[in-house]
Amino acid sequence: MSAAFSVTDLALFGRVMFPWALSPLASGASMILSVMTLLRTSGRCPPGPVIQNVNEEACLSSLVTLKEIVYWQYALIGRGTCVIRGEVKEDSDLSGKDLTVKICWPSRWRTSEVDFLEAAHTYALSQNDEHILGHIPQAFLHQDFYSTADGPRGKCAFENDDHRVLPVIVMDSYLPMSQLHTASDFTQVIIDVIKCHRALHEGPKILHWDISMNNIMFCRGENNRCGSFHLDRRFRTGTLPFMAIDLLAGKDKIHWVRHDLESILWVTVWYTARYHEGIETTRAFQVWRKADMFTLAEKKVYFLNTTDLYEPTAHFNTVAVWVGLLLDLFCHARGARTALSFRYRKDRTSETLDPETLGGRITYETFLHILEEE
């Protein structure tokens, strides 16, 4: 479903679209401008139509008011993702719903997040898959706006044709991991995310590629917590602190399921070592944000082989047992591969270790067995 959107404050959208426009959001602003007018007012759009396939009736019937910013990627490199609370005020099925508006600048050549969500929901509904339904967001409204290919950048002879597009997606809201205040809730969310990941991979054949702190989320459901993650994945890369070692080191050219499982492990290590009752109280592993890929791979290998480096906050002491077992699982799997490599060099043995699971050691089943047993 495509739609036109409105915003409560012109300065806010300038800040969302262009990080160098740092005008603050006016609290309680009531100004509502259509995005079509707003984009042209910004002075940074090409002449001609900005919104495609949107008629006057759609513009009048699908107004979304932006509220407070939940997350904003303030960086020179990246997609400039901004997540904002939103609401639909007119009388519609979305009235009164807790909504999130996601705005970013991805490459126009990548598959959109909405396409992934629609494929996942279509499959889940056809199979009544409880591990997917309720565990991924639902896109209620979406519209792609101005593409950089239509502006000055598109007229330049760049070798890397990385033109960007501005999608705006309105979806249901989930809570960030930082609001998980008990170890039991945190464990359940991780279990839910792994089961959802498995269902998406085995069903509609969707593999995430970029699991991080920012896209593992949760909601309060019938069981008081329900793990979820966003299907917004980076193309060819990932978020460095949470990337698998073999991808950082350039050892694997194929992205396997075990790489996403390893990312979930690094998210767990990061969160439980830095957060206490929802507040970031330590700067553990901060160097992981700054190291280059090869250095970070070496640091993670050293971490796996030195178990006493993991120190969870007091809030997550009970999580330390299964985190330690998962670290051992990955350490032993890597060790088995290294040992086989040595044997090959010495005896030219024909024995092989499948790269997808490292000999059946890193699978959904082995991962979940540790979590559910503990």
**Which structural domain, as residue segments, surrounds residue 79?**
1-173
Kindly indicate the confidence band of residue 150, based on its pLDDT and cuts at 50, 70 and 90.
low
**Whether 228 contacts 174, CB under 8 Å:** yes
Q: Which CATH number do you get for residue 308?
A: 1.10.510.10
Q: Are residues 206 and 169 in the same domain?
A: no
Q: Are residues 315 and 187 in the same domain?
A: yes
Q: Are residues 115 and 59 in the same domain?
A: yes
**Whether 58 contacts 36, CB under 8 Å:** no
Q: What is the pLDDT of residues 240-291, one digit of tens each?
A: 899 999 999 988 888 999 999 999 999 999 999 999 888 899 999 999 988 9
Using DSSP bridges, classify how beta strands 139-147 and 175-176 pair: parallel, antiparallel or unpaired: unpaired
Question: Residue 247: what pLDDT?
Answer: 93
Give the max Cα distance, the chain.
75
> Which of 146, 173, 200 finishes a domain?
173
The pLDDT of residue 219 is above 70: yes
Q: Are residues 166 and 224 in the same domain?
A: no
List CB contacts of 60: < 8 A, sequence separation 6 or more. none
Q: Which two tokens stand for residue 151?
A: 């502006």
Q: Are residues 165 and 189 in the same domain?
A: no
Determine the Cα–Cα distance for residues 297 and 241; give it in Å rounded to an integer. Answer: 10
Question: Residue 37: what pLDDT?
Answer: 32
Cβ–Cβ contacts within 10 Å for residue 47, how many? Answer: 7
What angle is formed at CA 362 by the lines to CA 361 and CA 366, rounded to 5 degrees? 80
Question: Residue 163: what pLDDT?
Answer: 75
Kindly indicate the confidence band of residue 151, based on its pLDDT and cuts at 50, 70 and 90.
low
**Whether 58 contacts 2, CB under 8 Å:** yes
Instruction: Give the pTM.
Output: 0.78
Q: Are residues 71 and 192 in the same domain?
A: no
Strand-pairing partners, residue 226, are: 219
Q: Are residues 82 and 142 in the same domain?
A: yes
Question: Residue 252: what pLDDT?
Answer: 83
> Which of 143, 173, 203 finishes a domain?
173
Q: What is the pLDDT of residues 346-357, one digit of tens each?
A: 555 656 778 899
